[in-house]
Amino acid sequence: MESFNQEQNYFGLDLGNSSIKVAQLRELRGKPTLVTYGDIDVPENLLSSDSPIDQDRIAEYVRQLASDANISSKNVIAAIPSTSSFTSIIRVPKMPHNELGESISYQADKYIPIPLNQAKLDWAVIGEYPETDELSVLLVAAPNNIANKYLNIIQKAGFELLTLEINALALARSLTAPSQTNNTVIIVDIGTLSSDIAIFTGQVPQIVRSIGVGSKALRRVISQNLGLDETQSDQFMKKFGLQEDKIEGQVFKTLKPVIDHVVEELNKSIAYHLDRSPESKIEKIILTGGTSALPNLPMYIANATNLTVEIGNPWTNISYPADLQQTLASISLNYATVLGLALRNLAQ
């Protein structure tokens, strides 16, 4: 955990299923620069609990982590998982900004599968269609109970929530170059319980969706098929991954059906995007999340999609001390979301 004595007006907070991460940046000579960062493991599924006692425990973890990392701000920008939110890209007639909110709220009921009085709604204009005089609008809704839980945890930890956004937007901010506004990329974030698939043109989302497959499912099938405990399953998964020539391909054969499901959903998302935007050219797929480092996974996905696949580097848009390069590289797969949150209000 590293710290530098610089003041910053907010920090990023990523409340994950098995760990919590923080990151604070500042603008120095026109570029986002690392101030401090840190993470702490938490009991799995603690965040999914609605118990006030468990929320107090999470708040204490946040408070302890922020103290250990020498966070210098009380203001927080946090992420809500895609699995806990509803996202749509909608078209609305072009109109004055002061009328837009009312029009979007009226239309939102068609796209959000819960009553609007039970959700917190946010939206942003992400493009326009001059030929039809319409605007393209990103519509995001989070159930009140989820948004309020995050708010309560952060306030109990002694901080103030400035913004709550979906993690896919943070990922685009940390893993893509803000100058490449016309490039279309796909970000696949393999988490503990689920994986997010998001297609971006520049840093503007075109598709955001989540599927219920993550590292826990991969460990579980190894444990069931090879008769290993959870720790051994994790070791086998990380060591052998999708290598057909290791231990007679036992781990490969076990993981393949689960990975194939992710690939199938990925190809469906690609087909849907190209059907809506036939002129679009997808440049590459960016993998992130700890499980994306599985041996041979990038090559397997590249062969299955006929696209270039690379492991994401969330430090690309951030300056940091040279002597931290090796340390930061070793944790990069798990820091993409929190760094994207910390980048939200900074020039890039």
Q: Are residues 213 and 246 in the same domain?
A: yes
Q: Are residues 27 and 78 in the same domain?
A: yes
CB–CB of 198/204 below 8 Å? no
Tokens of 326: 């090796």
HSE-CB for 323 with a 13 A CA cutoff: 1
Q: What pLDDT is stored for residue 285 in this prediction?
A: 98
Tokens of 43: 């009991």
Q: Are residues 207 and 256 in the same domain?
A: yes
Which pLDDT tens digit goes with each residue over 195-207? Answer: 999 999 988 888 8
Provide the residue range defining the domain that includes 125.
86-142
Which pLDDT tens digit goes with each residue over 288-323? Answer: 998 999 999 999 999 999 999 999 999 999 999 999
What's the mean pLDDT in 205-212?
90
Which pLDDT tens digit goes with each residue over 156-165? Answer: 999 999 989 8
Q: What pLDDT is stored for residue 102 in this prediction?
A: 85
Q: What pLDDT is stored for residue 347 in this prediction?
A: 57
Q: Find the CATH number of the domain harbouring 132.
A: 3.30.1490.300
Supply φ then ψ for residue 116, to 5 degrees.
-65, -25
Q: Find the CATH number of the domain harbouring 259.
A: 3.30.420.40
pLDDT at 273 over 70: yes
> Cα-atom radius of gyration of the chain, to the nearest Å?
20
Q: What pLDDT is stored for residue 139 in this prediction?
A: 87
Domain count for the chain: 3
Q: What pLDDT is stored for residue 323 in this prediction?
A: 93
Q: What pLDDT is stored for residue 266 in this prediction?
A: 97
Q: What pLDDT is stored for residue 348 in this prediction?
A: 52
Q: Are residues 115 and 56 in the same domain?
A: no
Q: What pLDDT is stored for residue 105 in this prediction?
A: 84
Q: How far is CA 345 from CA 31, 50, 64, 120, in A?
A: 12, 31, 25, 21
- Beta carbons within 8 Å of 183's beta carbon, 6+ residues apart: 176, 177, 201, 202, 283
Q: Are residues 304 and 168 in the same domain?
A: no
pLDDT at 179 over 80: no
Angle of the 215-226 helix axis to the 250-276 helix axis, nearest 10: 150
Angle of the 297-305 helix axis to the 250-276 helix axis, nearest 10: 40
Q: What pLDDT is stored for residue 73 in this prediction?
A: 95
Q: Are residues 17 and 135 in the same domain?
A: no
Q: Are residues 60 and 200 in the same domain?
A: no
Q: What pLDDT is stored for residue 60 in this prediction?
A: 97
pLDDT at 182 over 90: no
Q: Are residues 214 and 295 in the same domain?
A: yes
Q: What pLDDT is stored for residue 220 in this prediction?
A: 95
Q: Which residue in this structure is represented by tokens 């990023």?
A: 12
- Tell me whether strands 195-201 and 204-211 are parallel, antiparallel or unpaired: antiparallel
Q: Are residues 25 and 149 in the same domain?
A: yes
CA dihedral sign of residues 63, 65, 70, 74: negative
Average pLDDT, the chain: 91
Q: Are residues 29 and 172 in the same domain?
A: yes
pLDDT at 168 over 80: yes
Which pLDDT tens digit goes with each residue over 87-131? Answer: 888 888 998 888 888 888 888 888 888 888 898 888 888 778 888
Q: Are residues 161 and 63 in the same domain?
A: yes
Q: What pLDDT is stored for residue 3 in this prediction?
A: 39
Tokens of 54: 């468990």
Global pTM reads: 0.89
pLDDT at 2 over 50: no
Q: Are residues 252 and 302 in the same domain?
A: yes
Window from 69-83, 169-183, 208-222 with minimum mean pLDDT:
169-183
Which pLDDT tens digit goes with each residue over 219-263? Answer: 999 999 999 999 999 999 999 999 999 999 999 999 999 999 999
Which pLDDT tens digit goes with each residue over 3-55? Answer: 333 334 899 999 998 899 999 999 988 899 999 999 999 998 899 898 999 99
